[in-house]
Structure formats: C-alpha cells, structure tokens
Amino acid sequence: MDTNNLYSTQICDMMNIGIVVLDKDFKIHYWNRWLELHSGIMPASIVGSNLFDFFPNLNNPKFIRNCKSLFTFGNYYFLSQKLHHFIFPFKPVSASEFQFEHMQQSGSIFPIRNDKNEIQYICIAVHDVTELVAYEQKLIEMTKRDVLTDIYNRRYLEERMKDEFEKHTRYCRTLSLIVLDLDHFKGINDTCGHQYGDYILKSIVAVVKPCLRTVDVFARYGGEEFCCLLPETDIEAATRVAERLKDAVAAQEYFFQNTLIKVTISLGVAEACESTRTIDALFKNADDALYEAKKNGRNRVVVAKG
C-alpha cells in the first residue's frame, strides 16, 4: 500500500472497521487504527511482519487457500461470523448479557490492483458484530421463554424432548419426565384474583428451579402445568427429584398483598423404556400418573406403571 497517500490513510484510520493489507507472502503492509486499538499492536510493530507470527490462528489451510485464490483469480471472499465467529481474537468491547470470549466479527477479503491492473495486495476488512449477534441471541432466547415465568415454554420443551428421546433411542440413555400441576389453582384464581394466581406461578418456579440441574429442562406446559425433562436420569432418581420438589413447594409460604396461602403440587413421573416407543407415550405415562396423584388426594408423587 502507498503510505504516502495521505487521504487514503486518514480515511482508513477513521473508519470503524479493521483494515489490514497483505502481500502474497502474507507480509503486512498496512494496519489501520481500528486494528491498533483492538489488538494493542501499533503499526510500527507489525507492518513488515508476517501475519501468522502475530495471529497463528489464521495459519490454516482454508484461510491460506482462499487468500491465494484471490491473488490468482481476483475474486471476493466473505468471512461469516456464523461460521468463523471471529477473524482476529480480540476481546469484546460491548457490554452484553451474553458472554463472548472473543469479539464476534464478520469480514471480507478483496484484491487491490496496481496501475497495470495486476493484483498486488489483498485487503482484509473486519467488522465488529458482537452487539448484533447478542441481539439475535436475545431474540432467539425470547422465543424459548414463557412470558410470565421466564422459564422455557412448551415449544422449546417439545424440541428438547425430541432431541433427548432420539439420544435415548439411539444410545440407550436413560430419560425421565416429571409432569406437575398446582393443586386447586382455579380456586386460588377465583378467590384471590388472577394477579395472585400469576404471583403463585412465578413463586412456584422460584422454588422448583433451584432443585433441578442445569441440564434439566424446566418448562411451563400450559396454565398451571409444568414439565421437568431429566436427561440421563432413571425412574428412581426422577422419583427422588419429584419428592424433593413436592416437599419444597409445600414448605413454602406464599404472601401477596397481605394474603397468605399454602400451595401444594401433584406430580407424575415416567421413564422412557422399551414399552415407551414415542415421545407422546412418555408424556401420556407421566400425565396419567399425574391424574392418579390428583385423584388420590393431591400433594403427592405417583410413578407411572411399566
């Protein structure tokens, strides 16, 4: 790159993207201010050096092949964040609830021609897309969540049930399901109002969630019915979990607008086994067990037969 071109240099240094120019031997000829700020490497320290001496992560066959292709054919190459996540391993600068180890980047590589229309250099342009990626992930996460309780919703539960059931079928891994329902919830809504009912639902979630593992899927199935999908868990362990949930909910006192109420839950537990050949069958077994728990007095755990 002609470093005497004052206008080009100043424009490139003011742009909010990274720009690095390389020759055929991957020697760096230009390193703009954006790259200096995010890498901590000054142009005087890196210009003239081989790119791979500073960034060995780029010394891979695919990157080298694509760069050489640009010198040969003069084509244009796009580096997608969704495939590569980052080009240069810089620390992220934007605050986000999603923790990224590295700044998320997209980029493009294109040829630079001399006065004879010969490809003399290639340029890599790097864009920081961390905030955009975080926003996309937030939108995706929102589609998985129940609006009231902020746990997983029925749609996400069904997706995970499909995935976990496939693992159970293919690899013979244990899998159990707990279906639980609040006892006499309609009476709570009718007596105290729907605001109190909403408070109870959120309170139950606050009690149940800490009793589960991070790998478990806790979801609101609908109304006052919830499901706990327990991967790598047999029926005995799942029953112990269900008993723990039942006792934790029953021990809690629920206050709302100076009103105190005791709440209990009924639970049905089922394990995927040889006779449970479909997801629907697993759910039906757990739901039938829940019905038995309701029928036999509530505030109890019933294990599905079979």
Whether residue 206 sits in one domain with residue 127: no
Whether residue 180 sits in one domain with residue 281: yes
Whether residue 245 sits in one domain with residue 197: yes
CATH number at residue 126: 3.30.450.20
Taking the complete model, does pTM exceed 0.75, yes or no? Answer: no
Domain count, the chain: 2
From 136, 168, 184, give the residue that closes a domain: 136
The Cα 112–Cα 110 span in angstroms is 7
CATH number at residue 217: 3.30.70.270
1, part of any domain = no
Whether residue 232 sits in one domain with residue 174: yes
The Cα 269–Cα 283 span in angstroms is 9
Whether residue 294 sits in one domain with residue 175: yes
DSSP code of residue 209: G
pLDDT in tens, the chain (306 residues): 444 566 677 888 888 999 999 999 999 999 999 999 999 999 999 999 999 999 999 999 999 999 999 999 888 889 888 888 899 999 998 766 667 889 999 999 999 998 899 999 999 999 999 999 999 988 988 899 999 999 999 999 999 999 999 999 999 999 999 999 999 998 888 878 888 899 999 999 999 999 999 999 999 999 999 999 999 999 999 999 999 999 999 999 888 777 788 899 999 999 998 888 899 999 999 999 999 999 999 999 999 986
Catalytic residue, chosen from 224, 232, 253, 271, is 224
Whether residue 287 sits in one domain with residue 220: yes
Terminal Cα-to-Cα distance of the chain (whole angstroms): 75
Whether residue 152 sits in one domain with residue 279: yes
Whether residue 200 sits in one domain with residue 63: no
The Cα 130–Cα 11 span in angstroms is 24
From 105, 136, 167, give the residue that closes a domain: 136
Whether residue 34 sits in one domain with residue 154: no
Whether residue 156 sits in one domain with residue 73: no
From 77, 106, 136, give the residue that closes a domain: 136
Whether 159 sits among the annotated catalytic residues: the reply is no
Whether residue 155 sits in one domain with residue 12: no
Whether residue 216 sits in one domain with residue 130: no
Of 222, 242, 249, 240, the closest CA to residue 289 belongs to 242
CA angle in degrees (0–180, nearest 5) for 178-179-181:
135
What range does the domain containing 63 cover? 6-136
23, part of any domain = yes
Ordered alpha helix ranges (H), 145-278 = 154-171, 185-192, 194-208, 235-251
